[in-house]
Structure 1
């Protein structure tokens, strides 16, 4: 299922914050993405309605299976692209920023081929 880039960014942010802090609230997402609390609250409401996240009575956010699948896919792309661009000599800040734009637009086929290429290039050659 294709979802909007902004939804992918929110889901990825939830995953990243959870890995860093262990728990996630809307305010954490707002700080992470540097968005206003009302904007994030609206987005969280839409993500909940579409079955990508759940919010408990204490306001803690968790990804559903569908939300986690999307978030982990985007996060993997982000990490690999950032690492690759940095290896090419791009500064870490620019690499992370560019990876954030690229991660949403690559087809699954292109990403897999790029992933294979990077993996093969990282292996020491046999002489």
Structure 2
């Protein structure tokens, strides 16, 4: 399943919002990602078509099992990158650091994040 860094960023936002409160709405996602509600609505439809989330009648958003596992793995990768990127000496805000980590995590091959065997 080909997902861009943007798709993954939406999944990560829903995952993190869902950890704070079980009911996540499109307005909350839009606020966290600094995008418009119509943008969120379009992306949610795309992610629903891919079986990564469900949206209930009154707009509450929930990750499917597949979406949850993918978001959790993406969070692990972004956290690892957020810990390593500052060593590069780049002057990034926290938001820029997270955006950069998300772009890298979505672009790098899976084996980069695997622990080497001893």
CA separation of 1:96 and 1:42: change in aligned 2, threshold 3 A: closer
Give the TM-score, by structure 2 length.
0.82
Distance in 2, matches of 1:97 and 1:3, equals 16
* Aligned twin of 1:81: 81
Q: How much does 1:92 deviate? A: 5.8
Shift of 1:52: 0.9
Distance in structure 1 (CA, Å) of the matches to 2:100 and 2:46 = 27
Per the alignment, in what secondary structure is the counterpart of residue 45 of structure 1?
A: helix
Q: From the CA coordinates, give the structure whose radius of gyration is larger.
A: 1
Q: Secondary structure at the match of 1:13?
A: helix
Equivalent residue for 1:21? 21
Partner residue in 2 for 1:98: 100
Q: Which runs of 5+ in 1 are unaligned?
A: 117-127
* RMSD between aligned residues: 1.9
Q: In structure 1, what is the Cα distance between the partners aligned to 2:8 and 2:22?
A: 20
Unaligned runs of 5+ in 2: none
Number of residues of Structure 1 aligned to a counterpart in Structure 2: 113
Quick one: structure 1 residues 98 and 27, their matched pair in 2 at CA, closer, same or farther if it must change by over 3 Å? Answer: same
Please report the TM-score for the alignment, with normalisation by the length of structure 1: 0.77
Question: Partners in 1 of 2:85 and 2:49 — Cα distance?
Answer: 36
Distance (whole Å) between structure 2 residues aligned to residue 104 and residue 73 of structure 1:
11
